[in-house]
A and B are shown apart, each in its own frame.
Chain A
Amino acid sequence: DGGITQSPKYLFRKEGQNVTLSCEQNLNHDAMYWYRQDPGQGLRLIYYSQIVNDFQKGDIAEGYSVSREKKESFPLTVTSAQKNPTAFYLCASSGIRVGTSGPGELFFGEGSRLTVL
């Protein structure tokens, strides 16, 4: 079945450690996104990518890094520079909306919950 797979579902990290969250999609979508969800703040955009080997910072990119070496994969690294990394992270992808150049519907993974100990 087509969809987005995020792993791990739960992750614990000690302060000062980098961690990488995996996101894989088999929907053949060009665009992929990483969001962070905190209570009362909605989803905030961390990074997004429209094509392989290209990505842009979102609104809260500091302390995060990404790569897009393959169309199917968009891993997110939470670095030790991220001051408050404990959160729920959502990966999404979208195709192009029919008849326009804009994005279509976002398809989400099930999320990864990161806790810093």
Chain B
Amino acid sequence: AQSVTQLDSHVSVSEGTPVLLRCNYSSSYSPSLFWYVQHPNKGLQLLLKYTSAATLVKGINGFEAEFKKSETSFHLTKPSAHMSDAAEYFCVVSESRSSASKIIFGSGTRLSIRP
């Protein structure tokens, strides 16, 4: 069975500094991996997804994530934080199988940006 662990419940960075949100996963099969963002009182938006074509995945708003199979990690990064990045971020895993695909969310990381 698959699972996903977001290692930090809250991350605070200064505007203009790098962002790192950590995610580890567990999967018996080849996983599909996603990052979603939820701004306050807004719906969930897809940031990026791992398609197995490339281990470094680029998403929207300057975010990217690297799939590391040996470390079972899919950390989300951004070189320079912006005030508008303040939100809740969710790492998501699904096992790629021909039968039913269960999609599991991590518990979320709240990102705060200091001026």
> Chain A contacts of B104 at CB under 8 A?
45, 59
| B43 engages A48 (CB within 8 Å) | no
**B interface size (C-beta, 8 A):** 29
Interface residues of A in 28-56 (CB under 8 A from B): 31, 33, 35, 40-45, 48, 50, 54, 56
With known contacts A40-B107, A45-B104, A102-B96, A97–B46 Cβ distance under 8 A: no
| A50 engages B103 (CB within 8 Å) | no
Q: Is B34 an interface residue (CB 8 A)?
A: yes
Cβ 8 A contact of B46, one of A48, A58, A101, A106: A106
Give CA–CA (A76, B92) in the complex, Å.
Answer: 22
Give CA–CA (A41, B108) in the complex, Å.
Answer: 7
Cβ 8 A contact of A105, one of B34, B102, B108: B34
Give CA–CA (A59, B49) in the complex, Å.
Answer: 23
| B101 engages A100 (CB within 8 Å) | no
Q: What 0/1 pattern do residues 74 to 105 of B give for CB contact below 8 A with A?
A: 00000000000000001010111111111111
* A113 nearest CB across to chain B (Å): 12
> Chain A contacts of B36 at CB under 8 A?
106
Give CA–CA (A110, B51) in the complex, Å.
Answer: 27
Interface centre among B30, B44, B51 (most CB of A within 10 A): B44
> Chain A contacts of B26 at CB under 8 A?
none
Cβ 8 A contact of B9, one of A40, A90, A101: A40
Q: Is A103 an interface residue (CB 8 A)?
A: yes
Smallest CB gap from A55: residue in B: B100
Smallest CB gap from A111: residue in B: B43
Smallest CB gap from B44: residue in A: A108
Q: Is A112 an interface residue (CB 8 A)?
A: no
Sample 9 A-B pairs with CB under 8 A, ordered by A number: A41-B107, A41-B108, A54-B100, A97-B51, A100-B51, A100-B96, A106-B34, A106-B36, A106-B44
| B interface with A by C-beta (< 8 Å) | 6, 9, 30, 32, 34, 36, 43-44, 46, 49, 51-52, 90, 92, 94-108
